[in-house]
Amino acid sequence: MFITKRSVSRRTVLRGLGAALSLPVLDAMVPAFTALAASPARALRRLGFVYIPNGANMADWVPAAEGSGAAFSRILAPLEPFRDHVRVLSGLTNQVRGAHAVAAASWLTGVAPNESLTTVEAATTVDQIAAEHFGQHTQWASLELGLEGADFTGACCGNYSCAYTNTVSWRTPTTPMPVETDPRNVFERMFGDGDSAGGAARQARLAQDRSILDSVRRDADGLARTLGASDREKLGQYFDAIRDIERRIQLAEEQSAAVPDMPRPIGVPEHYDDYAKIMLDLQVLAYQTDLTRVSTFMLGKEISQRTYPHVGVADPHHSISHHKDEQDKLEKLSRINVLHMELFAYYLDRLRSTPDGDGSLLDHVLILYGGGMSNSNIHAHDNLPTLVVGGGAGPVKGGLHQSHPQDTPMANLLLALLEKVDVPLEKFSDSTGKLAL
């Protein structure tokens, strides 16, 4: 028997001027004999978390009916094209009390943080439990991204440290994970050569305004000649995505340079939607190249005063969230919630359109979308806005609204998510069991 298919290592890297480009999952990365035996390699499992701040207008969030085929609510409507991958869960609660800092810190821990400016302490989050498991196989154990600058010193919410509002990820009870907000930093971390010589070469490349892809062109062309048609197409799509993100980051930097008085970090687009989409696309690339299998993304941080004039909300988000049941403010809060959901739908579309093994990235990822507060007007931590989305490389049934008895621990869902990605844990926080997914 002759095996003509070239085998490519999953750790193959294309190198160039200050660049080190990891590859997406290719057919050639499946051993030839495995392919001939019709036993494809097991799909990689990924776990993601997308956080929304300042609660939600739950009247426009929770579907009116339960079970399969329930019509999506106004806020969930943007997810209609992904219905079969979406499970809506209601009734889940974190048994904590407190304001916005507690919401963010308890979302993935189930515990209230320490209310002290001298002793910062919460608990290890589920994403970091998964990261410890998957990190041995990837370059990064986890990826933490956000859209608002973080300051881990001082008080941001009463006597609660800013550490509690600026991240949802904790490596240990006393070690919050910093959130990266500059897409250029993320891009160079992903594709720049990290050694000292590579750093100098990278600066030279940036000074010449050369693309990452220009730097690795020779290696890329050589690899492409050895691949089959399907892999060459995947490689071309991957390179197109990288070049598009580069172009968008460069455009943002040019816009930033044109308005030097604005305190916007270099590389951050002027418009919120553009900013969010670049950061979401970077997460897709991180999954596609197996740089990491665990990520957290904050669409905003608690007590965010961001405004959204392009959807008719010129008032600060946090102020709107304390709506006092006034219909005008509730309407504006719903508009913000819908905008965030539309951006999440963009992310799901990018995942679904990115091939991965015998399916797409959306088939092979589980994403928890939601927040640590429901009715923010009263700082409620019960009936949390919660979605589980994706396939996770396993049987997770979507297309339904799953209602649970009031005060069912959120930790029951977190345990179930870990189990679905083969990270077994008997108990977490105040869990009383594992939700059926």
Q: What is the 3-state secondary structure (H, E, C) of 271-332?
A: CHHHHHHHHHHHHHHHHHCCCCCEEEEECCCCCCCCCEHHHCECCCHHHHHCCCCCHHHHHH
Give pLDDT, residue 364: 94
What pTM did the predictor assign?
A: 0.86
Q: Which region among 117-131, 205-219, 329-343 has the lowest average model confidence (pLDDT)?
A: 205-219
What is the SS3 assignment for 22?
A: strand
Of the ranges 167-176, 250-259, 351-360, the best mean pLDDT one: 167-176
DSSP string, 339-392: HHHHHHHHHHHHHHTSEETTEETGGGEEEEEE-S-S-GGGT--SS--EEEEE-T
pLDDT single digits (tens) 22-32: 778 787 776 54
Would the pLDDT of 200 be above 90? no
Average pLDDT value for residue range 346-353: 97
What gap in Å lies between CA 281 and CA 48, rounded to an integer? 14
Q: What is the set of domains in the chain, with CATH numbers?
A: 1-41+184-267 (no CATH), 46-181+292-437 (3.40.720)
Q: Which residue has the tokens 């913000």?
A: 336
Please, are residues 147 and 279 in contact by the beta-carbon 8 Å criterion?
yes
**Confidence band for 193, pLDDT divided at 50, 70 and 90:** low
Token duo for residue 49: 């978390």
Of 432 and 14, the structure prediction assigns the larger pLDDT to 432
Token duo for residue 99: 């304001």
pLDDT single digits (tens) 392-408: 656 678 889 999 998 89
Of the ranges 198-207, 251-260, 360-369, the best mean pLDDT one: 360-369
Cα angle for residues 336, 52, 173 (degrees, 5° grid): 160
What is the SS3 assignment for 226?
A: coil
pLDDT single digits (tens) 20-72: 777 787 877 765 434 433 334 457 899 999 999 999 999 999 999 999 988 99
Would the pLDDT of 205 be above 50? no
Could you tell me how far CA 100 lies from the centroid of its own chain? 21
Average pLDDT value for residue range 297-313: 96
Q: Which residue has the tokens 């994706």?
A: 390
Give pLDDT, residue 227: 84
Would the pLDDT of 306 be above 50? yes
The torsion defined by the Cα of 282, 287, 291 and 294, in degrees rounded to 10, comes to: 100
Would the pLDDT of 269 be above 50? yes
Give pLDDT, residue 2: 33
Please, are residues 182 and 193 in contact by the beta-carbon 8 Å criterion?
no
Of 430 and 7, the structure prediction assigns the larger pLDDT to 430
Give pLDDT, residue 55: 97
Which element (helix H / strand E) includes 245?
helix 229-258
Would the pLDDT of 249 be above 60? yes
Give pLDDT, residue 308: 97
Please, are residues 142 and 287 in contact by the beta-carbon 8 Å criterion?
no
**Confidence band for 155, pLDDT divided at 50, 70 and 90:** low
Which element (helix H / strand E) includes 90?
strand 86-93
Average pLDDT, the chain: 85
Give pLDDT, residue 16: 65
Cα angle for residues 38, 353, 251 (degrees, 5° grid): 140
